[in-house]
Amino acid sequence: MWRLRGRSRPLTGLESLARFPVQAELVRTLSGPDEFRETLFARIAGAAKRVLIAALYLQDDDAGREVLSALYAAKAARPGLQIAVFVDWHRAQRGLIGKGASAGNAALYADMAQRFGPGVPIYGVPVQTRELMGVMHLKGFVIDDAVLYSGASLNDVYLHRHQRYRLDRYHLVENRPLADSLAALMSQVLRPNPAVGFLDSAVRAKTGALRGAIGRLRRTLASSAYGVTSEPIGNGEVGITPLLGFGARRNQLNTVILQLIQRAERRLVLYTPYFNLPGPVRLAIEERLKRRCHVTIVLGDKTANDFYMPPEEPFTAICALPYLYESNLRRFCKAHQKAIDQGLLDLHLWRHDNHSFHLKGLLVDDDYALITGSNINPRAWRLDLENGLLIHDPQSRLIEQHWVELERILAHTRRLEHHQALEAADTYPLPVQRLLKRLARTRADRLVNQVL
C-alpha cells in the first residue's frame, strides 16, 4: 500500500496517474441488475481462491439471505476459500428508516453463523461514531482474479427480486493486479484495524467503546490509497486506476472527479442519483458550459428516488428528501436555462414504472470514464468512505460499450426543457411544503444538503 501525504491534492494530472494496463476485451459493461445478479452468483459458485465483498449493506431479505447462503455453500464446497464481507458498522445494526426499532441486518449474520459455523466473517467498518456523519461506502466484489464493480448494495431491489429493481451501473474487469489491489485494502487496512469488528456474532462491541479506535481508523483512511504499479498502456489495452476517497482534504477520488470535469472539451456525462452537487463540481460544470462543452446530466425523477413515498402513504420527514433534491434541480435549471435552450446542457430525468435510480459516474470525451459508488454530493465529498475505478481509454476501445450503456439508460428518461416542467413547490403534499418552508426559513436546508 502507498499513502498520500502533504498537499491537499496531487501535483500531477490524470495522464500521470499510476494505472494497471488491462486488455480492453476483459472489461465488460453488464446490461442491468439481472445480469449483475446472475454474474455475482455464478462467480461465487465457481470461486476457487477468494471472495471479498465491500458494500454499504447486505440486507436481511430474500436476496441478502440468498447471497449469504451462496457464500456458505461455496465455503463448504471449498474449505480453503477466503471469504470476507465488509459493510457499514452502523447501517448493519439498525432497522430501515421509517420502520420500527430493530436489531438490523446483524441479527441475520449472527443467526447464519450460529447455524452454519465460521468461515463467512462479516466485518462492520465504522468511519465515524454516528452514521449521520459518515458511512463505509466502499463498493466492489473481488472474486478470484476478477472485480465485479457496482454502486449497488445487496438486497431485493438491487438484485431485482419481487418485480422491482434499483438501477445502478455494473462492470466486470478480469485482471489480477487490480483484484489484488482492491483485496489488499480490505485485507490489510480494514480487517486488522481495531475499530473494525465482527457483525456475525451475538456479542459485539458498543460503538461508544470504539470512539478512540474510530478516530485512529479515520486518520489511517485519510492517508491511505490503493497500491498501483504503473505500466504503459499497450495496443488494445486500457488503463485502470483504483481510487480511494475519504474526507474533505487529500481526497484522491474527489480530486480526480474535478480533474475529469475540468479536462472535458467536447462532452461530459454525469450520472448522479441525488441532485445535490458539491460546490466545486457545480462550478467546474458551469465553467465547461461557458467553454461550450456539451454537458449531459442523468438523474432520477423524484418518484424514482429510493426515499420517495406516494402522497397517500403516511408521511415521515425522510419522505421530503426527493422534493428537496427536485428543488435543487429547479434552481439549477433556472440558472442555466440559456444553456438548455442552446442544447449545451441536457438534463435527463429517469423514470421507469415503480423502479428506482441509483447511477453514479462520469464519461469524459472518448477517453476517460469513472465508475464509482460515490453519489457525487456533499456527503460523499466530505463524510463517507468512497472508491471508484478510473478508466483511461486513449484508443477508444470501450467507447461503444459506454454509449450503449448510456442509450439503454436514456430510453427511460425525458429531457428537461424548462424549470417550469418540474412540479411547482406549491403543489407538493402539504406536509412536504411545511417542512421545506421551515427548513428554508431557518436556513437548515443548507445543512441538510450537506449531510444527506
Query: 60, 88, 156, 168: which is the annotated catalytic residue?
Result: 168
Q: Is 169 within 8 Å of 405 (Cβ atoms)? A: yes
Q: Is 180 within 8 Å of 174 (Cβ atoms)? A: no
Q: How far apart are the C-alpha atoms of 353 and 146, rounded to whole Å? A: 33
Q: What Rg value do the Cα atoms of the chain yield, rounded?
A: 21
137 in active site: yes
Query: 386, 393, 405, 445: which is the annotated catalytic residue?
Result: 386
Helices (H) and strands (E) in the chain, counts: 13, 19
Query: 294, 336, 358, 419: which is the annotated catalytic residue?
Result: 358
386 in active site: yes
Cα dihedral 38, 143, 169, 21, rounded to 10, equals: -130
Phi-psi bin for 160: left (phi > 0), alpha (psi -120 to 50), beta?
A: left
Q: What are the cell numbers at 345? A: 446542457
* DSSP 3-state of 416: coil
Query: 137, 160, 336, 355: which is the annotated catalytic residue?
Result: 137
Q: How far apart are the C-alpha atoms of 109 and 66, rounded to whole Å? A: 12
* Spatial CA neighbour of 191 closest among 260, 125, 147: 125
Instruction: Classify residue 335 by its DSSP letter.
Output: H
Extended strands (E) in 209-283: 237-245, 267-271
Q: What are the cell numbers at 37? A: 445478479
Q: DSSP readout, 378-441?
A: HHHHHTSBEEEEEEE-TT-SSHHHHHHHHHHHHTTEEE---GGGSPPGGGS-HHHHHHHHHHHH
Q: Which residues are catalytic?
A: 137, 168, 358, 386
